[in-house]
Amino acid sequence: MPDHELRYSPPTPQRKDFRIGILGSGFIVNDCHLVSYRRIGLNPVAIASRSPENAARVADRHAISRVCANYQELLDDPTIEVLDIAVPPMYQLDLIRAACDRGTVKGILAQKPLALNYDDAVETVRCCERAGIVLSVNQNMRYDPSVYAVNSLLREGFLGNPVFATIDMRAILHWQPWQSDTGSATLRIMSIHHLDCMRYWFGDPAAVFCSTCPDPRTTFPHTDGICTTILEYENGLRCVMIDDPWTGPAREGCPADVNIHWRIEGLDGLAMGDIGWCQDPFTTPSTMRYARKGDADFHHFNPAASWFPDAFGGTMSQLLIALETGQPPAIAALDNLKTIALVEAAALSASERRFVSPQEIALSSSTRGEL
């Protein structure tokens, strides 16, 4: 038996009857949020969407008792304790402002990205702080079972000091219609997961270098289709992310090799894993194997869980735990500003072809010094 504790299942709140209101009724709500919430016994009680008909279908599938005619009707309900927002990022700030104006909810789980730019993200955090509302961000890759499990190994020093880490994504993504209005394909939608994951594992880097080119399959104008990113840490650690939604002409007649693979190399050990989400079906379990000096072979971790939909119970649970304990959430929005700054630094790096410190984004912000 291995002489370490592998923690792979995130905690759930003692109180599971918090009244949750859902804003949005798309795939991520219908097939991920609500599936995962019901599995762990959480309490979604109302839903609203731009399409009341779609909201009604989702409510029927997941036994949600109330379908609101619009977002305002749900926000006006003083019995809703927690908002779960799953709308495009350009609409998120206005919904959060409206919730803060009413001042009735205790907590908000916002979708990632928190905003499409750093200044709007700061404004979102500031609104909730003024209203006394706990704001957290749905950076759900942290709760993929392999990502979460290897974090426990890192925390107990099983791998020794980290030396080199990679996330290599070769997956054809499903772009959202609203992305065409932003001119951004991968950095703010997919790379943000991997950048936040590196922060979760290793803390904040000193600098980032990012090189991008268009994805040949993506039809709307963009520059950040295929992204290669390097993070430099002061202690010598280097992290590399390849975000490749092209993956070769897999939809055009070529055999496919689709996967998301991560790898962490330390002074004392090695861990690597595959994210089940990008397989067919998306519920394919994630996997991990790991070993350190002196082990005869790899330890194998094969949970019956995947990133989608299982991680989403973790992101809501960490907010509910914060509400019942009075402690900051594990994914606090104030800390998530550093993820937004890192994404913006990567975009600036790609544009200017230079290393950029995330601090450069924060220091150049018009909101500097207000938090």
- Please, where are the H alpha helices in 185-332? 192-202, 311-325
> Are 250 and 117 in a shared domain?
no
Element (H, E) at 346: helix 333-352
Look up residue 287 and give its two tokens: 């996997």
**What is the distance between the alpha carbons of residues 200 and 179, in angstroms, rounded to a whole number?**
26
Range of the domain at 64: 20-140
Based on its alpha-carbon atoms, the radius of gyration of the chain, rounded to whole angstroms, reads 20
Contacts of 130 (CB under 8 A, 6+ apart): 100
> Are 126 and 152 in a shared domain?
no
Q: What is the CATH number of the domain that holds 34?
A: 3.40.50.720
> Are 89 and 203 in a shared domain?
no
Q: How many CB atoms lie within 10 A of CB 53?
A: 9
For residue 155, which phi and psi values (nearest 5 degrees)? Answer: -65, -35
Terminal C-alpha separation, the chain:
47
Residue 73 · residue 67 · CB < 8 Å = no
Does residue 362 lie in a domain region?
no
Amino acid identity at 193: H
Residue 145 · residue 306 · CB < 8 Å = yes
Residue 274 · residue 260 · CB < 8 Å = yes
pTM of the model: 0.96
Residue ending a domain, choose from 93, 109, 140: 140
Does residue 288 lie in a domain region?
yes
Contacts of 53 (CB under 8 A, 6+ apart): none
Is 14 buried (19+), middle (13-18) or exposed (0-12) by CB count in 10 A?
A: exposed
Does residue 193 lie in a domain region?
yes
Residue 22 · residue 46 · CB < 8 Å = yes
> Are 221 and 159 in a shared domain?
yes
> Are 65 and 196 in a shared domain?
no
Contacts of 95 (CB under 8 A, 6+ apart): 23, 71, 75, 83, 85, 87
Adjacent-strand bridge partners of 339: none
Residue 358 · residue 204 · CB < 8 Å = yes
**What is the distance between the alpha carbons of residues 261 and 276, in angstroms, rounded to a whole number?**
10
Does residue 348 lie in a domain region?
no
- What average pLDDT values come out for the chain (371 residues) when binned by 10 residues? 73 97 97 98 98 97 98 98 97 98 98 97 98 98 97 97 98 91 94 98 98 96 97 98 97 95 98 92 94 97 94 98 98 98 98 98 77 62
287-292 vs 269-274, strand pairing mode: antiparallel
Q: Which residue has the tokens 């370490």?
A: 4
Total number of domains in the chain: 2
Does residue 315 lie in a domain region?
no
Look up residue 141 and give its two tokens: 């890759």
> Are 174 and 303 in a shared domain?
yes
> Are 279 and 167 in a shared domain?
yes
> Are 148 and 124 in a shared domain?
no
Whole-number pLDDT of residue 368: 62
> Are 275 and 177 in a shared domain?
yes
